[in-house]
Amino acid sequence: MSRITRLGLAVVIAALPVVLPAPTASAQDDSAVEQTKEITNYGKDTTRNATVRVSRTANLFDRQQVRVDLAGFEPTWNANNTAVNGTRLQYPVVVMQCRGVDPDPTTCANEERLQWQAGFDVNATPSQRAVAERQSRPGDPSVYPGADLNEQYANLFRAEQLPFAAANGTSYLWRLETRSDGVPFIDEPNLKSFPPTDVTSEGAATINTRNIPIRPDGTNAFLFEVRQRASQSSLGCSDTQACSIVVVPIMDMACLDELSEDKPLPAEALNCGKPGRGPAPGESGATDDVNPFAASQQWHAESNWRNRFVVPISFAPDLQSCDVRDSRPPLPAYGSELVAVAQERWGAAYCTGARRADYLPVYTQGSEYFARRQLTTQLGAAYQQNAVFTSQPVTESPRPVAHAPTAITGFAVAFVVDDGNGAQVQNMTLSPRLLAKLITQSYNPIIVPPAARDGKKPYDGTQSIPDAATAARYYVAHPALFNNPQSLFADPEFADLNPDFALRSGTDALAPHLRNTINPMVFTVESDIMMDITRYVTGDPAARAWLDGQPDPYGMRVNPAWLNLEPTQIYTLLDTWVRPAMPRKEGWLESKIGVLTDRQFVYGGGDTCDEVHGTEYLTKVANVANAAKATALMLLDRRGSATPICTQTIAPVPTGQQAAEPQFPGDDVTQDVRFNETKIAPVDYGKRAQLALTTVAHAALYGLPTARLVNSAGQAIGPAPGTMRSALHAATVDPVTGTVQIDHTRVGADGYPGTMVAYTAVPTSGLDLATAGRYADFIEFMATTGQVPGPTLANLPPGYDPLPPSLVRQAKDAAAAVRAQRGEVPAALDDPVGEDTPPAVDQQAPAANPGSGLPVNAQNADDAKDADPERLAKTEDASSWLARWSIPLLIGFGLLAALVAFCVQVGARPDHPLRRGLDGLLRAVGRR
Amino acid sequence: MGRIATWRRALVVATVAATVTPVIPAAAESAQAAYEPVTGSGSTWSQNALDQWVQDVRSRGMTVSYSGVGSSAGRRQFADGQNDFGVSEIPFQGTDRGQPDSSPNRKFAYMPIVAGGTSFMYQLRVGGQIHRGLRLSGETIAKIFTGAIQNWNDPAITRDNNGKSFPSKPIVPIVRGDGSGTSAQFTRWLDTEYPGIWRPYCGCTGLTSYYPVNKGRAPLMTSQTGSDRVAGAVAAAAGDGSITYVEYSYATARNFPVAKVQNRGGFYVEPTHFNVAVALTRAQINQNPNDQNYLTQILDGVYRHDDPRAYPLSSYSYAIIPVVGTGDFRITAGKGRTMSDFMYYFLCQGQSAMPSLGYSPLPANLVRAGFEQVKKIPHATTTDQDVASCGNPTFDPGDLNSNKLVREAPQPAPCDKVGQGPCGAEQTSAGAGPENGGGGDAGPAAEDPTGGDTAAAEVDPETGMVVGDEADGSGTDLAGNPTELAAYRSEGITTTLGVLVGVQLLLVLLVPPFVARAVRRRQNREQ
């Protein structure tokens, strides 16, 4: 390409993008809020000073997690019973989100809204007291007026439920019970006897209210997920509707001695003012028999509500201006999940007008491998993709392809782990070998204590076990993992790396929930991300030796199914051991299996699902997903895809259709019985211990803590801003495509070893010029305006480091080659980080290109490339005279037009600044 | 100097504003309810498509969450009022193996969302290498999934592969354990096409969402919950010798092969979006808008389509949407707007990405019918939509009643014909690879007199629905089979475009200063 052409293009390029206004706030946000005040235990008439700290309160996004630190509160009783979102805790602290900065209980999102108990509070509100006066126990419809039971129930809900006032003015009584015909008891325009319909019992829309157990030292810390209008419109928080995080400590209530008119307290209210039940703070054990007057449901009782902390929060503006009926032609781009989070923002920029264009980029997330196959193969008459996002270069393409740097991010190990004290862990360090142990499923999934093992034999499903006495002589354990630690947290290597991690719980050296084998959430599709994870692991000498069979210093060995693991693009479950089911007793009948009573008890033995399905045990307990986003969401949902539970469904078989005789031993011909491998229920808060392989950007999007990974310099580095750009010093350059890849054996002290670079790969020949121009424009947008980090939805989101200037230039060169469609492939950069940062370590990749020996900078990058004729892949299209000259001619014409326009304007405007300047100059000259 | 800089910036802005032709529409939502989050649940068969659409509309301000809990659970949750919409491959069945399956209290309608092929993903290692290009007849498949064929060296499999035999290795059929629309699709095909094999095994007639594991007949059969888990089980190391039925996209994402299935045209074909689209031209769609089952499918014609390209196990997936009427207390004005805009998006623009995900986009007549269904959602935003602007690859903007995808679908390779081949192991499908692909194959396809288009025209042009233009005229249309590969379509167009660009550039540069001046002059006058 001639230099004139390039200059012309540069002018056009410079004229096209409208630069976004500078971000209003820096990426560093310091909106933490700390409040300390005196709180009163009205039941005991004592006071104490308590402190609430919220890590971030401004410019929040939907579903972002903010850290909440509590200190100085009354320790919680029955603290080990964290079931049902902590509603069985005694003296917990309730944390919820409310609309407004001075909220009352009607604007707080909390499903506990029964007013009866609160009515016995000395300071009760009139409506609370009225319920207590009317009812001797809550929920009896017969004391309410009404023509029939339906009306009585409706009146009961009206009186006894504290309404939740949704943002749209509708009140929800939150208790979903329906009449026999499926219709709710109350469904009036402004009053509903069911929860807001944006709240569901599981998954993404569960309410964010948390009931927090306070440790014996009066503290706790956890991540609280804030909800913006987009995910909870009934709460309605947004950039224009301020909200707050409200913290209500539950303490002893100041209780009435009697109801009005010498009416004695009903029996169920006698617990008012009585202490909470269950084990004292710091003690083990738990009870389900709790005192409701000391539980989270009393958050709106006056004795508790008066002690509330209100921390105002504000949200970033949400961009709702994309229109589903946008008629601009879509510009498809397919591929790597590394860019997914950024694409969401960039896509929004095209809709809000922050980026003006006559096309609309449409990003489709998918495997990089599939992306490259689609870019290079035809199905029918056309190539399947014309633009893909990839980390590894596109090779063996029939069309020449330019690779434009688009995003610096990486893989991450995100985690949601509560320590032995039930507090959410914020920091964790993993070495390549620990990661190797996790992904090779090498922790022992079935622990058989010595007492159940000594002098006994492993049961493999073939031995004859006629009675209980024989069964007691056997046990079941994974044959190869028998001597390995049971979980990551039981591994001494983990304890060495994480000395501050509280593993103990009460008298247990290792808290029970940390003992279970951790099966990390993993995506099982072909992926560059998985390739880099396994490259990182296998590139470490200690991990490599361990994977090759050498035990670690504590004697743990790799699962032999994964021996000699090599880098791989697809995570495959390799272990094939099937857990033998406990042997059936005489006369076993399939429809009676629900419990194991029809089986001889063998320690560690399997259930009927193991027998019927024969699923490999480690496959059954593995958590697999289709995408890195899905693994991150599994952490938020507090469960993966593992199906360790065996359930059964039974349907009777009509008499006429029953088989004459059993189809197999134990077949019950009268019943159709199905055995299902089922997921666990979401894990309780305080007992979570889950890790996920995901991307840095997805972890940042959901505010998930990420592990620090030990790099080749021996430093444990997390994906903090700058650490990924720093890791580029250890990059090797592919001389053909100009793409870089991190050499995990050379990452410097401050480099995050999980760093990856995502490229936009687009052919530089074969596209029509209009489409090519759009792709070029899109590439330029992503590499320039799209690289400004910041808090608004038009900025580069957290989880990405901005491209250094050298990579921006590389992207612009790629865009120019795409726009021209002359088969050109820009030269590889010598130094991916550029001169703005310390120079990279010696290049290991051979410098195949003599032209690239020139220093690469803004002035002569183009010359360097032009000096290298080998870079120009000759194609048919390049020989077209029209193709070669039409654009330059047009550009020249355009420049001419610009000049003419300028002169016309100067000529037409007597007050034109240039004319005035010239006049002034002339006058000055004349005067002299 | 400062003034000049300001002036230049103004010029740049003006340039951009004028160059970019369609100005972004101003927010015209003053009277509309704000978007509210919407939840859906059901099919894992179509989950990859839904996940994509959910992601797409986030930048349009919509929050939709979808959980793939299985079609049966999705239908049940819809009936119980636990979700805003369900997704299912089959309609409510009344009862299925003793489990109730109906929505007595909540009114609903069906709406097709995407097409796809139920594929047979397998792992068969020969000499340690994964074998690609396995061919199976329908009868062989039926026998494999009922335990009548239990080894890969079975003569029936050797016959399907034109004499190529496989090593002795037990076949492990992996089926869905949860209530699944994929199972329903598969068992309906088994029941329709091979009742003599299927019914004795099942001990039932008709389809079932709960695939029976009959250990007495198929001792090696196992089951898994969800599409990604059956696909994961086949892909696992222990999966050698296994085969499952799963939507095509789950196999492509793992780069695992799927069996080529024999069709009535005498070819073994894969479920590419082309072949699915061809097969579905024979789907019989319920056309009675007053029927509860309006728009649902009868696939017998699909199973038996004799076009050499047709993939027999092709089908549509459906959303179960709430409609104005009794039993719905979930759908607020905001939800109704979100749901109708979300569905408008995926019926229209959202279809364009479907081929790259392993699905086949909806044809124009079903998209049009879908638009009408969307209007029935409580509080739906009812604007009339223009189907032509959807960017859907099945649409021919010039002739919306003609299915472009079907027209352009390449013919299978000769080595995939019964009695020929088999094709080389590395060749995954006809037209893969630039040297034998595209143009070369498209020609014969167009001229093939036995091709589906002429046959289809006699009965129903696309999907069996009555469309405006009965005269398909496929024979003549086919001659102009466009090839979009060439960079420069014709010199004439390029030249014209060039002149246009020049004029535009000139206008762009000249007009703003004059306009600005006129405006300023007027302002001065008013002052």
Q: Which of residues 154-183 of B touch A (CB under 8 A)?
A: 177-178
Point out the residue among A184, A203, A882 whose CB comes nearest to the CB of B494: A882
Adjacent-strand bridge partners of B244: B121, B174
Q: Does A637 touch chain B (CB under 8 A)?
A: no
CB A906 within 8 A of CB B517: no
Residue A508, beta-bridge partner list? A505
One-character DSSP codes across A301-325? SHHHHTT-EEEEE-BPPP-----TT
How crowded is residue A534: how many other Cβ atoms within 10 Å of its Cβ?
A: 21
What are the tokens at A137? 């126990």
Q: Measured between alpha carbons, how far is A388 from A818 in angstroms, rounded to an integer?
A: 13
Q: Which residues are paired to A33 by β-bridges?
A: A54
pLDDT-derived band at A793 (thresholds 50, 70, 90) equals low
Is B26 an 8 Å CB contact of chain A?
Answer: no
**Percent of chain A topping pLDDT 90:** 48
For B498-505, the CB contacts below 8 A with 24+ separation are B498/A886, B498/A889, B498/A890, B501/A890, B502/A890, B502/A893, B502/A894, B502/A897, B504/B18, B504/B19, B505/A890, B505/A893, B505/A894, B505/A897
3-state secondary structure at position A749? coil
Q: For the segment B294-321, what is each residue's pLDDT rounded down to a tens digit?
A: 888 889 999 999 999 999 999 999 999 9
Burial of B259 (0-12, 13-18, 19+ CB in 10 A): buried
Paired tokens of A789: 């980090």
What CA–CA distance (Å, rounded) separates B410 from B149? Answer: 33
Contact B488 A318 (CB under 8 A): no
* A388 band by pLDDT with thresholds 50, 70 and 90: very high
**Among B236, B254, B488, whose Cβ lies nearest the Cβ of A573?**
B236
B379-384's contacts with Cβ under 8 Å and 24+ in sequence apart are B379/B33, B379/B331, B379/B332, B379/B333, B379/B334, B379/B335, B379/B336, B379/B337, B379/B340, B380/B336, B380/B337, B380/B339, B380/B340, B381/B32, B381/B336, B381/B337, B381/B340, B381/B341, B381/B344, B382/B340, B383/A325
- Residue A398: its chain B contacts at CB < 8 A? 434
The Cα of A913 is separated from the nearest Cα of chain B by a number of Å equal to 7
- Is the Cβ of B385 closer than 8 Å to some Cβ of chain A? yes
Q: Which distant-in-sequence residues (6+ apart) come within 8 Å of A30 by Cβ?
A: none
Q: Considering CB atoms only, which of B16, B39, B254 is closest to A524?
A: B254
A622-638 pLDDT tens trace: 998 888 998 998 898 88
Helices (H), B273-374: 273-280, 300-303, 333-347, 354-357, 364-374
| A 214-273 residues inside an 8 A Cβ radius of B | 229-233
Q: What angle do CA A14, A17, A22 make, to 5 degrees?
A: 110
Residues 547-586 of A with CB under 8 A from B: 561, 570, 572-576
Comparing A537-541, A564-568, B291-295, B448-452, which segment has the lowest mean pLDDT? B448-452
Distance from CA of A368 to the nearest CA of B (A): 10
Q: Which of B61, B65, B57, B62 is nearest to B84 (CA)?
A: B65
* 3-state class percentages of chain B: helix first, strand second, coil last, to nearest 5: 40, 15, 45
- The verdict on a CB contact (< 8 Å) between A576 and B237 is yes
d(CA B460, CA B465): 7
Which of A184, A230, A614 minimises the CB distance to B329? A184
CA A748 to chain centroid, in Å, comes to 28
The nearest alpha carbon in chain B to A233 belongs to: B36
CB A76, CB A94: distance < 8 Å = no
- Cα–Cα distance between B221 and B223 in angstroms, integer? 7
Among A867, A835, A834, which Cα is nearest to A852's? A867
Q: Is the pLDDT of residue B465 over 60?
A: no
**pLDDT of A801 strictly over 50:** yes
Q: Does B467 touch chain A (CB under 8 A)?
A: no
Look at residue B474 and tell me whether its pLDDT is greater than 50: no
Tell me whether residues B229 and A364 touch, CB distance under 8 A: no
CB distance A644 to A486 below 8 Å:
no
Token pair belonging to B21: 């032709």
Q: Do the chains contact at B517 and A323, CB–CB below 8 Å?
A: no
Is A524's CB within 8 Å of B232's CB? yes
Interface contact flag, A897 B506, Cβ < 8 Å: yes
Those residues whose C-beta lies under 8 Å from the C-beta of residue A199, and which sit 6 or more positions away, are: A109, A111, A205, A206, A207, A232, A234
- Determine contact, residues A122/A265, Cβ cutoff 8 Å: no
pLDDT, mean of residues B165-172: 94
Q: Is the Cβ–Cβ distance between A336 and A371 less than 8 Å?
A: yes
Q: Looking at residues A28-56, what average pLDDT do you find? A: 91
Residues found in chain B:
527
- ipTM metric: 0.70
CB proximity list for A54: less than 8 A, separation 6 or greater: A32, A33, A34, A66, A67, A68, A224, A245, A311, A313
For an interface test with A, give the residue of B24, B51, B213, B247 to mutate (most A CBs within 10 A): B24
Cα gap B134→A765, rounded to integer Å: 36
Give the model's pLDDT for residue B118.
93
Separation of alpha carbons B282 and B115, rounded Å = 13
Instruction: Let me know: does A831 contact A855? Beta carbons within 8 Å.
Output: no
| Max mean pLDDT range (A474-488, B339-353, B383-397, B481-495) | A474-488
Q: What is the pLDDT of residue A668?
A: 78
Residues of chain B with Cβ-Cβ distance to A677 below 8 Å are 177, 223-225
Cis omega (within 30 of 0) on the bond before A195? no
Which residues of chain A are within 8 Å of residue B483 when distances are taken between CB atoms? 381-382
Strands B38-42 and B85-88: parallel
Contact B224 A205 (CB under 8 A): no
Of A18, A379, A904, the CB nearest to B432: A379
Tokens 């799927």 found at = B258
Q: Which of residues 271-300 of B touch A (CB under 8 A)?
A: 272, 274
A84 in B contact zone (CB under 8 Å): no
Of A862-866, B34-38, B67-71, the range with the lowest mean pLDDT is: A862-866
**Where does the pLDDT of residue B65 fall: very low under 50, low under 70, confident under 90, or very high at 90 and above?**
confident
Instruction: Please give the helix or strand (H or E) that residue A450 lies within, else none.
Output: helix A450-453
CB contact under 8 A, B344 and A325: yes
Cβ–Cβ of A674/B210 closer than 8 Å? yes
- The per-residue pLDDT of chain B, averaged, comes to 77
First to last CA, chain A: 49
Alpha-carbon distance of B103 to A76, in angstroms, equals 45
Our CA-based measurement puts residue A91 at a distance from the nearest CA of chain B, in whole angstroms, of 33
Cβ–Cβ contact A527 with B under 8 A: no
On whether any CB of chain A is under 8 Å from the CB of B519, the answer is no
With an 8 Å Cβ cutoff, are A525 and B82 in contact? no
Own/partner contacts of B95-98, CB < 8 Å, gap of 24 or more, are B96/B72, B96/B179, B96/B208, B96/B209, B96/B210, B97/A651, B97/A672, B97/B204, B97/B208, B97/B210, B98/A650, B98/A651, B98/A652, B98/A653, B98/A672
CB distance from B247 to chain A under 8 Å? no
The answer to whether the CB atoms of B24 and A913 lie below 8 A apart is: no
Nearby residues of A264 by Cβ (< 8 Å), 6 or more positions away: A258
- Mean pLDDT value across residues A640-644: 89
- Closest by Cα among A100, A93, A119, A128 to A299: A93
Q: Using an 8 Å Cβ cutoff, are A688 and A417 in contact?
A: yes
The phi and psi torsions of A824 (rounded to 5 degrees) equal: -80, 145
pLDDT computed for residue B387 by the predictor: 75
Q: Does B501 touch chain A (CB under 8 A)?
A: yes
Check whether A392 has a pLDDT greater than 80. Answer: yes
- Whether residue A780 contacts residue A815, with contact meaning beta carbons closer than 8 Å, is answered with yes
pLDDT in tens, A447-487: 888 888 888 999 998 888 888 899 999 999 999 998 999 99
Phi-psi region of A353 (alpha: psi -120 to 50; beta: other; left: phi over 0): left
- pLDDT category of residue A27 using cuts at 50, 70 and 90: very low
**Alpha carbon of residue A410 to chain centroid:** 14
Length of chain A: 928
Distance from CA of A213 to the nearest CA of B (A): 30
CB proximity under 8 Å: A 760-779 to B:
765-769
CA distance B357 to B359: 6
Q: What is the per-residue pLDDT across A309-361, written as a single tens digit (0 to 9) for each?
A: 999 999 887 655 567 677 788 898 999 999 999 998 888 888 777 788 899 88
Interface residue A364 vs chain B (CB under 8 A): yes
- Which pLDDT score is estimated for A379? 75
